[in-house]
């Protein structure tokens, strides 16, 4: 394992697969310094909601307890199935509804389903469908905030919709208005709410790479940098009392102020095809983990507040973990994630590997009630103990046949899984 230390640059710098697919597009359990976007899921969201990509605290963890400790050979009880179209959009759950996106009949569609029954509540056409050799349809995950849901299409059409009715509140074409750059495999970043702002990794030129819109009106508040768009979702964190937003663009991890978009620091991170897809992982109290595939590897940075600004130093880099299209999850002092086709556990502080396991191919995972819920890219679902001692499998079940690049969502004891064509809700609660 390669370990090295260097200072990150803090000056502006101009600027295969559908690893991007499920990166489209956070259950507070680690520390108050990594707070969820203010207002995310409020009012319309129930306490057990999963209102955005990677959950309420953007960390892939659920606070729910009382979940099943295993399941029979056939898998957990199926509560309902709903036919969808193309796409890898994740599932946001709030207010008793499940929100996602798909492509069908040449249209790109945002949809709301009843979370209990799976029945359609409303649908809204967002754009023409996008076709791709690595999978068609939208990639971004809806974000629920109060009585609104924000949806972002694969071609850069952004909408604020009424979460109850699906009626359009406002809409903007990010490409036409801001010159947003649509990545090779489609827009996959998910919108993030920060106070009254909606944050987007737009990838536009002329200083429109990072974009903050007024969430109420859709009008611009600030724009910053000239990076190519990545496939990752922005992460707001607080270090030493200073709020910052981390954007994992196509070429770097970039920290800016949410007030005006001014640059704090920049850590160059060049990956083949500009596929920085996995979301950064906050490691309390002051570190951040990033990882990319294509033999790039991972890095841990330490963030430091000095004189009203945040800076960052490199702690370690290594090829021990190469997240492709979904992020690792922090549990205690360890990170669990997919090193390409190996499910791994590593020590967060050093990058030391503790164990590795094949069998899921590439995949995604979340954490809940002391266990890892693992979802392989060919539809294999696994329940695994969250322990660094060894890979300890509790149960598995084949849920789908075919490609499954969307990460699981969990709310009110219901696990939501998606293939390219279908959404299923499984009962994980000891009811």
Instruction: Give per-10-residue mean pLDDT for the chain (431 aa).
Output: 36 33 34 36 55 98 96 95 96 97 97 98 97 90 98 98 98 97 96 98 94 98 97 97 97 97 97 96 98 97 92 98 96 98 98 98 97 98 98 98 95 96 94 67
208: CB partners within 8 A, 6+ apart: 178, 179, 180, 202, 223
Cα 146 versus chain centre, distance: 20
Alpha carbon of residue 357 to chain centroid: 23
What value, to the nearest 5°, has the Cα angle with vertex 21 and ends 30 and 361? 80
Q: Which three-class secondary structure state does DSSP give residue 79? A: strand
Distances (CA, A) of 24 to 2, 215, 231: 30, 19, 7
- State residue 431's pLDDT score: 67
For residue 351, give the nearest of 300, 401, 285 by alpha carbon.
300
Classify burial at 172, counting beta carbons within 10 Å of its beta carbon; exposed 0-12, middle 13-18, buried 19 or more. buried
Q: Residue 11: which residues within 8 A CB-CB, separation 6 or more?
A: 263, 266
- For the chain, report the end-to-end CA distance as a whole number of angstroms: 46
Q: In what order do the strands lie in the sheet with 334-339?
A: 329-331, 334-339, 342-347, 353-357
Name the residue among 245, 256, 257, 202 with its Cα closest to residue 226.
202
CB 84 within 8 Å of CB 108: no
Decide if 90 contacts 23 (C-beta within 8 A): no
Determine the pLDDT at residue 46. 44
Instruction: Supply the pLDDT for residue 13.
Output: 29
Cβ neighbours, 10 Å, residue 203: 31
C-alpha torsion sign, points 312, 318, 324, 329: negative
Cα separation values, 164 from 95, 144, 222, 261, Å = 9, 11, 29, 32
Read off φ and ψ for residue 345, nearest 5 degrees.
-125, 130
């Amino acid at each position: 394992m390669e370990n090295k230390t260097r200072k990150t640059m803090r000056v502006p710098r101009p600027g295969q697969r559908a690893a991007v697919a499920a990166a489209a597009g956070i259950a507070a359990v680690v520390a108050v310094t990594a707070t969820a976007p203010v207002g995310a899921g409020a009012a319309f969201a129930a306490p057990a909601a999963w209102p955005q990509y990677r959950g309420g605290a953007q960390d892939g963890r659920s606070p729910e307890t009382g979940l099943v400790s295993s399941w029979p050979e056939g898998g957990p009880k199926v509560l309902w199935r709903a036919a969808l179209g193309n796409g890898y959009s994740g599932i946001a759950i709030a207010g008793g509804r499940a929100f996602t996106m798909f492509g069908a009949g040449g249209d790109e569609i945002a949809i709301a389903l009843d979370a209990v029954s799976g029945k359609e509540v409303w649908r809204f056409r967002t754009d023409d469908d996008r076709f791709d050799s690595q999978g068609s349809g939208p990639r971004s995950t809806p974000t629920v905030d109060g009585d609104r849901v924000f949806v972002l299409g694969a071609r850069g059409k952004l909408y604020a919709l009424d979460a109850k009715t699906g009626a359009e509140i406002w809409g903007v074409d990010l490409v036409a208005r801001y010159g947003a750059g649509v990545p090779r495999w489609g827009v996959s970043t998910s919108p993030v709410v920060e106070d009254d702002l909606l944050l987007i990794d737009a990838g536009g030129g002329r200083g429109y790479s990072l974009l903050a819109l007024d969430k109420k009106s859709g009008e611009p508040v600030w724009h910053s940098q000239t990076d190519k768009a990545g496939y990752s979702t922005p992460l707001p964190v607080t270090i030493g009392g200073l709020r910052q937003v981390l954007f994992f663009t196509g070429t770097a991890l970039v920290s800016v102020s949410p007030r005006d978009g001014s640059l704090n620091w920049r850590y160059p991170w060049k990956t083949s095809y500009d596929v920085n897809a996995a979301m950064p992982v906050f490691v309390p109290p002051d570190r951040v983990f990033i990882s990319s595939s294509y033999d790039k590897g991972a890095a841990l940075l330490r963030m430091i507040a000095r004189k009203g600004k945040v800076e960052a130093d490199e702690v370690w880099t290594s090829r021990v973990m190469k997240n492709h299209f979904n992020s690792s999850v922090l549990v205690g002092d360890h990170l669990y994630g997919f090193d390409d086709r190996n499910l791994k556990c590593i020590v967060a502080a050093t990058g030391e590997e503790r164990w590795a396991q094949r069998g899921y191919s590439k995949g995604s995972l979340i954490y809940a009630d002391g266990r890892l819920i693992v979802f392989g890219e060919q539809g294999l679902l696994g329940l695994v103990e969250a322990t660094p001692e060894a890979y300890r499998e509790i149960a598995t079940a084949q849920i789908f046949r075919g490609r499954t690049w969307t990460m699981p969502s969990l709310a009110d004891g219901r696990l939501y899984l998606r293939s390219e064509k279908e959404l299923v809700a499984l009962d994980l609660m000891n009811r």
